[in-house]
Structure formats: structure tokens, C-alpha cells
Amino acid sequence: MKIVPGVAHRAKEKTKIPLHNAEEQEGLRAAGRFNAQLMDALRAFVKAGVATIELDRMAYEYTMDHGHTPACLGYKNYPNSICTSVNEVVCHGIPNRIALREGDIVNLDLTTIVNGWHGDSSETFLIGQVSNEARKLVQATFESIHLGLEAIHVHGRLTDIGRAIERFARMQGYSVVQEYQGHGLGRNFHQEPGVPHYVPPNGASNVVFEPGMCFTVEPMINVGTWRTMLDNRDRWTVRTMDLSLSAQFEHTILITESGPEILTRTNAGPQPGHKFWVQQRYVSLEKCRSDGKSRTLFNEPSGSLLAIRTMKRWSLRLDHA
């Protein structure tokens, strides 16, 4: 067997998985970091009343303002900068002018190019109070990606990811989408290796992780059937065959000597162990103006220090009144 430098070897298939050197890894880290930063920048706007095309616009502007490139825009003629997949849409939902509504779940899938390197990640957001069915699905999907990530060990096998995800999803009564997978990325948006989120019955790849590999993990988990259908009008939107709910989370992972690194960790998003059960409550303070209009002075999660201090001040005033 001929050894090609910088390329991992598989015993049976002759596919080429790029291995990134130290300098290239820094490029990948910067791309992942920016992609996560974009997710955090959009976060506050993902709420009822906002149209997905507005989120797309914001993502485009934020990315360009920082001197980077939205990878989706024009990719295989995709018309927008991000994918926005609502409810029964599994992936590749095209942003539109329909406003998000209380009770929706929406996945924002962002991919950016930073100095030639790709970062790719997605999160499913709950819009206001959602059904228990939706909340449980999002919770299980979030836990499944982290179980998949925990199954990654240097020199371990790629199939460990799908096994962990599928086992958990099935235990919860859900199904795992098979037609769409995670993928290698780097200078290219999609490259080897393919990353299935289930265990293919036969022909499973025998890829062994090696330092320098970079790929995504992005399980799509459905309430009903795992089967999907492609919208034949836009040729992009993927829905569940039975129109049941679907959720997804995605991270970009780099394998290093010291273990796997999640390159697309956000600062403000849900962290491992997060519970979607309790709806975040906000404390807000409005100032009424003489013209009858009001201005929001303050809107903070009820657990924040600022909110607690403000609530205390106001309850003290009420006590005195």
C-alpha cells in the first residue's frame, strides 16, 4: 500500500481524508470560532414575529462586515446565506418572509468561510412556549449530539459516533435521518469523510480518527419516520415524509493528539447538560412617554443579576408605597 503524505488511509476504500497540519488547524479554529460568534449574534433575534429572511439578511451582513464569506450563498446555486428549517423541515430550509410563530422550532444552520477555511454549525431554537412534543425532541437531539461527540476518541472509529447517537435516539422513541450526514470540511464545504448518525447495516466505513481530521457531527432526529422527501419546487427543502417534527444540532470537530476539539462552541448558547424544559422568563421595564408610546429600558433573563437587583428595587418601592 502506498502511503500518501497528509492523507489518512482506509483499508478497503481508497478515499482521501485531508489531515490538517498545525497551521491549517489554526485556520479551522478561527473559522469555527467566527461561526459560533455569528450564532451568538443572531440568537437574540430568533423569536416570534421575525421572518427567517430577516435572520438571513443579518447573517449575511454580520459575516460580510467582519470580512468573511457566507459559504451557502451560491453553493450549488443555493439562494441564501443560511438554512432555516422550521418544524417538519429536516434541513436546507430556504429563508422566507413568513414570521416565526410561538410554538415553532427552527434550526439555524450557519456556514462561513474565514480566510479560506470553513466553519459549520447549527442549533434548533424554541420559539416561545412550544408543545411538550417539540421540547422533548429538541432536548433529545441536543443530548444525542453530545453523546456522539463524547464517543470520539483519537484513534477510535468513526462509526462510534453514529452508534451512540442512534442508540440514544431510538431509546427515546425517535428515528435518525439517514439520507443526510455529517461531512469532512476544511478548504472545502463538503469532503471526506461522510459521518453517518446511525450504524449502516453493511458497508459501514472503517475510518479511524487521526489527528488533523476535521468534520461535522449534525444529527437530524425525527418524531416519526426517518424517511425524508425533497421539495420538488425548490429542490432544497427537505421534510420528514410523515411531516412529523424534526430537530438538529451541528458542530465542527477537529481531532488533535490530545483529543477532539469542538471548534464551534458558542458563549451564549445551550451548554452540555442544558435543560430546555424551563422556559426562560424575562424581566422588563418600560418607560411610558407623554405621547403614549413606551420605550423598553431593560429586558433581561429573570435569573440575571441585573434583573434580580431591579426586581428587588421595585418590590422595595412597592413595599413603601
Partner whose footprint covers residue 217, from ligand MF3, Co ion, none (CB < 5 to 8 Å by kind): none
Is 212 in a helix, a strand, or coil?
coil
Q: Is 83 in the site for ligand MF3 (CB under 6 A)?
A: yes
User: Nearest distance from residue 215's CB to Co ion, in Å?
Assistant: 9
| φ and ψ at residue 70, rounded to 5 degrees | -75, 120
Partner whose footprint covers residue 163, from ligand MF3, Co ion, none (CB < 5 to 8 Å by kind): none
Partner whose footprint covers residue 281, from Co ion, ligand MF3, none (CB < 5 to 8 Å by kind): none
- The helix (run of H) or strand (run of E) holding residue 169 is helix 159-171
Partner whose footprint covers residue 181, from ligand MF3, Co ion, none (CB < 5 to 8 Å by kind): none
- In sequence order, what are the beta bridge partners of 282? 301
How many residues make contact with ligand MF3 (CB under 6 A)?
Answer: 13
Cis peptide before 193 (omega within 30 of 0): yes
Q: Is 72 in the site for ligand MF3 (CB under 6 A)?
A: yes
Site track for Co ion across 110-129, x = CB under 5 A: ----------x---------
Partner whose footprint covers residue 76, from Co ion, ligand MF3, none (CB < 5 to 8 Å by kind): ligand MF3
Strand order from edge to edge, sheet including 246-248: 175-176, 220-222, 246-248
Q: How many residues does the chain have?
A: 321
User: Which 12-71 positions form the footprint of ligand MF3 (CB under 6 A)?
Assistant: none
User: Nearest distance from residue 253's CB to Co ion, in Å?
Assistant: 11
What are the cell numbers at 15? 478515499
Q: Which stretch binds ligand MF3 (CB under 6 A): 42-50, 75-83, 129-137, 201-209?
A: 75-83
Binding residue for Co ion (CB under 5 A) from 216, 228, 248, 266? 216
Regarding beta strands 214-217 and 251-256, do their DSSP bridges make them parallel or antiparallel, or are they unpaired?
Answer: antiparallel
Partner whose footprint covers residue 78, from ligand MF3, Co ion, none (CB < 5 to 8 Å by kind): ligand MF3
Partner whose footprint covers residue 12, from Co ion, ligand MF3, none (CB < 5 to 8 Å by kind): none
Is there a contact between 207 and 10 (Cβ–Cβ < 8 Å)?
yes
Q: Is 111 in the site for ligand MF3 (CB under 6 A)?
A: yes
Closest CB to ligand MF3 among 182 and 212? 182
User: Which 239-258 positions form the footprint of Co ion (CB under 5 A)?
Assistant: 250
- In sequence order, what are the beta bridge partners of 84? 108
Task: Spell out a b/e string for 277-308, using b for 16 or more CB atoms within 10 Å of the CB, else e.
Answer: eeeeeebeeeeeeeeeeeeeeeebeeeeeebe
User: Nearest distance from residue 64's CB to Co ion, in Å?
Assistant: 19
AA letter at 10: R
Range list of H helices, the chain: 22-43, 52-65, 132-150, 159-171, 305-320
User: Which 226-265 positions form the footprint of ligand MF3 (CB under 6 A)?
Assistant: 250
Is 11 in a helix, a strand, or coil?
coil
Binding residue for ligand MF3 (CB under 6 A) from 176, 218, 240, 252? 218
User: Nearest distance from residue 42's CB to ligand MF3, in Å?
Assistant: 15
Q: What is the DSSP letter of 80?
A: S
AA letter at 272: P
- The helix (run of H) or strand (run of E) holding residue 2 is none
Residue in 257, 260, 303, 262 with CA at minimum distance from that of residue 283: 303
- Residues engaged in binding Co ion (CB under 5 A): 109, 120, 216, 250
Footprint of ligand MF3 on this chain (CB under 6 A)?
Answer: 72, 75-76, 78, 83, 92, 109, 111, 120, 183, 216, 218, 250
